[in-house]
């Protein structure tokens, strides 16, 4: 019994990148197919996985912009880690609704 909590894109934005959104991706490749076939042959467990996902975001008309103190801390952390600041994502002020639409376009769920 586990609970997985991933920091979302809006939390990443508000913290100026101090807290990074988690990446979730499902990939089926040859190794996955081999495991499925082995489990089928064994017949010892079901081949399904059930997950319950809950999405939440701030109100669409809320201004989404980094909290200055957290953004400054994010810059300090990146400097200590030796990261190149020229390659760091910027977090511009925008409405939450715009950010949600950008994410939906990014994952091809909105044209």
Average pLDDT, the chain: 85
26 Cβ partners below 8 Å, 6+ apart? none
Residue 7 has pLDDT above 70, yes or no: no
Predicted local distance difference test score (pLDDT) of residue 111: 78
Q: What sign has the CA pseudo-torsion 84, 85, 86, 89?
A: positive
16 neighbors 7 (Cβ within 8 angstroms): no
pTM: 0.67
């Amino acid at each position: 019994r586990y609970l997985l909590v991933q920091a979302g894109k809006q939390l990443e934005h508000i913290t100026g990148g101090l807290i990074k959104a988690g990446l979730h991706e499902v990939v089926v490749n040859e190794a996955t197919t081999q495991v499925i076939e082995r489990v089928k042959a064994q017949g010892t467990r079901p081949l399904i996985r059930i997950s319950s996902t809950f999405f939440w975001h701030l109100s669409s008309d809320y201004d989404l912009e980094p909290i200055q103190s957290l953004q400054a801390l994010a810059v300090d952390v990146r400097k200590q880690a030796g990261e190149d600041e020229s390659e760091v994502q910027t977090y511009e002020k925008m409405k939450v609704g715009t950010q949600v639409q950008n994410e939906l376009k990014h994952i091809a769920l909105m044209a």
